Amino acid sequence: MNSSQEKQQRFLALFQPVQTNLERYVLALTGNREIGRDVVAETVLIAYERFETLRVPTAFLSFLFTIATRVHRQHVRVAKRTEPIGEEQLEQLFDPGLMPDVAADIGAVYRALGKLPKKQREAVVLFEIMGVPMKEIVEIQGGTLTAVKVRISRGRKRLSELLGVEGGERSEDIVVDRREARPDGSKVDETGIYSIGVKP
């Protein structure tokens, strides 16, 4: 086995277990399945090219999120807007067995996320939906831990206003809950949200 084949195998061994996490994160940022595919594809390409710079395999998902965040920002600068998530895209987010009223509530959350300022949306999605620790969000977004906490707090408050929820301090009141991490590092929401089907 040559070095190129070995690199590909090592990359895929890390990527495949967390692929759906990356896809869901990107869809929550873009609100658009087609744009999401482009962002995921570009993220995977860049991650593979820079794979040798990854020193700690357990940091691979944060490595992907960092690249995806930067790629998305570049797309936003070009497009000047993020398209609102549509019904077809929302259907891709839900487990087919999910109750219609629960699916409608989650759909409202994702639409509201699209109305948040860019960095607030990133921080809320990373922390509340993807379960990324705040210290890792600092590494992904840049800035300080205090700045990340402020983004999450303000994002929660704004989501509460958009969704007509009183308060906004308790994230589970307005954003889907998270189960414990699977052995492969991926996470499944209590509400049954699963892969968006974006393929790199």
pLDDT 10s digits, 30-57? 877 888 899 999 999 999 999 999 999 9
Is pLDDT of 92 > 60?
A: no
| CA-closest candidate to residue 196, choices 69, 68, 101, 94 | 94
- Asked if the model's pLDDT at residue 26 lies above 80, the reply is yes
C-alpha triplet 109, 112, 116: angle, nearest 5°: 130
Dihedral class, residue 31 (left if φ above 0, else alpha if ψ from -120 to 50, else beta): left
pTM for the model stands at: 0.66
Q: Which residues pair with 189 in a beta bridge?
A: 178
Arithmetic mean of pLDDT, 139-167:
87
Task: Tell me the C-alpha distance between 65 and 187, whole Å.
Answer: 15
Half-sphere exposure of 95 (CA within 13 A, CB side): 11
For the cut 80, the answer to whether the pLDDT of residue 24 exceeds it is: yes
Residue 168 predicted with pLDDT over 60: no
Pick one of 1.20.140.160, 1.10.645.10, 1.20.1050.10, 3.40.50.920 as the CATH number of 11-173. Answer: 1.20.140.160
Residue keyed to tokens 């303000």: 154
Q: Is the pLDDT at 200 greater than 50, yes or no?
A: no
